[in-house]
Structure 1
């Protein structure tokens, strides 16, 4: 079988729709086409006008298809973390024929048995991530297929989102003439490329500074364990510049892009640049320091709110620190301001692939990387979710609920090990939540 394949990712953002066409062979990703269009029908990371969003998606796909000389029909699409709920799940089934080897059907049955959580009417499942299996009491089995036993058990993590968000994404993609082959939560896609193996395993925080919102997520043991959304992003930074300097939004965006810095200490109070002011014939001179103060005020608010949410689950105790990406991460001084507020090491991630060397393309590249790394069990789990999305569940069990700020919660973040070696301490950081 040919081991090469084409993967097309679709990043539905507040400010831009981004499509990446990649050729993947032996784990190596080669970008062969990129398309981007101005986003329409979006508000703070979610689709609010399906028709406008689908038109913007079509435009981005057309550009990427033309550049790659590829017909685009199937896409891997990202789902925002707004309103995400995260909870552990377990399932068990009896295998009647004890001489029969465990196969795909058995694995999917035990995964389905784990989907007995009661979800609110407005929520639906979007992902099931396997942790491990047990066969006749033998635990920590990664893949039970081919084994023989009488009882099969499963442990995993379930994710759900508001139905309206999921429906609008699928509907917009469908109206754009495309088919979703896999949907991926945006933080999981980002972590695929923005974090190294140590950060994925032992725990790190990834912050996506987008145009319409800012999302902070915790990755631990290579899984998304917590996510919180702040409904402010790059658009409000541009808005602040526009209001304070009395200039148009287009001019404000250019000022932020070409002169913007978050580091007020390094900004010059002598260097000036002209700004077109509404109602005045001549441009007004503005210093780099003054522009920096406008930008830094908004960024400090965003980081301070995220800091409180992350502190609530003791995320800053994880050894990986903070990795910042997303369009707004390109601004000078973002990492230094974040480090000052968070009190841990902070770095900015920028993709290295040709044509994608901007933090705004991290999610697009992450979607491709996530899709090419899926194994057979991941695909089986995805099929289970697709089959059960429309099913109503009646079992009354606990799930992690969102608060009014659309934050996913954990059970008890106060527990941490202090007497074990450092590696074990962080490996077991979320043990109480997800074992």
Structure 2
């Protein structure tokens, strides 16, 4: 049996992560390759320097290839950034009078009508996701194929992004000699890795707190309801520490990761941090409680913004499963308690589930998006046998662009 592999590339503000998964004969997805590299050339999830971004992607790819022993030629790629917007749209069609039975083509026609929304010239559709169907007024239908009726209505969630941001990311991946299987909104990918099916049915908000952005995905009745990307993240906490304690940003980041806490009351008043371990020429001491106060203020602001978005969605008070926090900043101690207090919702940390192989090294919230990209591809795409990998041609070659176009069309018409 030939090996079947799937690759996910999470191009984040603070790190680029490449995961290589392999599906065994029992249908289990094993992680066989991991490559991470500090991210350069991105700000708030958006490419601002193509050459630096390409270098970061290439370095992470090289590490994943050396560990897995496989040549990476195609991948599912995550996209985020404050340019992301979403809206819900409906499409209606009459069922063919020949049989009065709904067939896949009826669903495709309804989705095509639903996605016919007015968009500015500088924006493009990333996802068109069916949320549910209505047949002759009967709501709550998940799969209408084979049902009889006269009228089919589809409710869709449409996610769009700025054309320039989308194509700059595509160009960076293309220049790293990787074909894009699909562009996937990062909070949707993260939800694949950390949410249970029962949570999406009850109503849940996923909050992915990365370095440059905080991504929100609200689910209800088993489907996506709203997605939002806020231009605030872990880097803003680092900047506050740097300014408040008058430290270089690199040292502020080390302090946050090593000694950071979201609850000052959990820190002893006499607990001090010796800065000489980060700056040999500095003998100053910093109260750890002061560090926690700075972090707490920014995290509370972040969750207040999340609360406002939940209110806008109309699901305030209607999320019994609460909030699931993932992403790199989810590893800050005390963040669950701040979320509970600010949002008045039950909260938990979202960890990637159901992993095999090198799972121990990536079983952290920081890897939720990368793991979710593999699961997205496993559920929505087709796995590629390893021997079918062909090195792509020069950047911008026809094969790469045609392959992406076909996959985007399939995303619109499942």
- The equivalent of 2:176 in structure 1 is 176
Q: CA deviation at 1:249?
A: 1.7
- The equivalent of 1:227 in structure 2 is 227
Q: CA deviation at 1:151?
A: 7.5
- The equivalent of 2:378 in structure 1 is 372
CA contact 1:246–1:278 (8 Å) conserved in 2: no
- The equivalent of 2:28 in structure 1 is 28
Distance 2:68 2:175 in 1: 22
Deviations 1:220-248 (A, max 9, x none): 23332123333221112112222222222
The answer as to 2:408 corresponding to 1:386 is: yes
The answer as to 2:284 corresponding to 1:284 is: yes
The answer as to 2:365 corresponding to 1:359 is: yes
| TM-aligned CA distance change 1:385 to 1:86, over 3 Å | farther
Q: How many aligned residue pairs are there? A: 382
Q: CA deviation at 1:351?
A: 2.6
Q: How does 1:23-172 map to 2 (within 5 A)?
A: 23-25=22-24, 26-80=26-80, 82=82, 83-92=84-93, 95=96, 98=98, 108-131=108-131, 140=141, 142=143, 144=145, 154-172=154-172
Q: CA deviation at 1:174?
A: 1.0
| TM-aligned CA distance change 1:132 to 1:214, over 3 Å | closer
Q: Secondary structure at the match of 2:168?
A: helix
Q: TM-score, normalised by structure 1?
A: 0.78
| TM-aligned CA distance change 1:19 to 1:388, over 3 Å | closer
Distance 1:215 1:333 in 2: 20
| TM-aligned CA distance change 1:114 to 1:326, over 3 Å | same
Q: CA deviation at 1:106?
A: 6.0
Q: How does 1:268-283 map to 2 (within 5 A)?
A: 268-276=268-276, 281-283=281-283
- The equivalent of 1:319 in structure 2 is 320
Q: How does 1:326-345 map to 2 (within 5 A)?
A: 326-345=327-346
Q: Secondary structure at the match of 2:145?
A: coil
Q: Which moved more, 1:40-49 or 1:349-358?
A: 349-358
List alignment gaps of at least 5 residues for structure 2. 354-358, 383-403
| TM-aligned CA distance change 1:309 to 1:152, over 3 Å | closer
Q: CA deviation at 1:357?
A: 2.0
Q: CA deviation at 1:213?
A: 1.7
Q: Which moved more, 1:44-53 or 1:32-41?
A: 44-53
Distance 2:214 2:48 in 1: 18
| TM-aligned CA distance change 1:342 to 1:107, over 3 Å | closer
Deviations 1:112-143 (A, max 9, x none): 34432222222211112234567899984726
| TM-aligned CA distance change 1:81 to 1:310, over 3 Å | farther
Distance 2:222 2:142 in 1: 17
Distance 2:40 2:153 in 1: 46
Deviations 1:32-74 (A, max 9, x none): 1011111111011111222321221111111111111111011
Q: CA deviation at 1:190?
A: 1.2
List alignment gaps of at least 5 residues for structure 1. 377-381, 391-435
Q: TM-score, normalised by structure 2?
A: 0.82
CA contact 2:323–2:348 (8 Å) conserved in 1: yes
Q: CA deviation at 1:339?
A: 0.8
The answer as to 2:244 corresponding to 1:244 is: yes
CA contact 1:245–1:277 (8 Å) conserved in 2: no
Deviations 1:1-36 (A, max 9, x none): x69631100111000111100112455221110111
Q: Secondary structure at the match of 1:125?
A: strand
Distance 2:300 2:21 in 1: 37
- The equivalent of 1:394 in structure 2 is none
Distance 2:143 2:177 in 1: 38
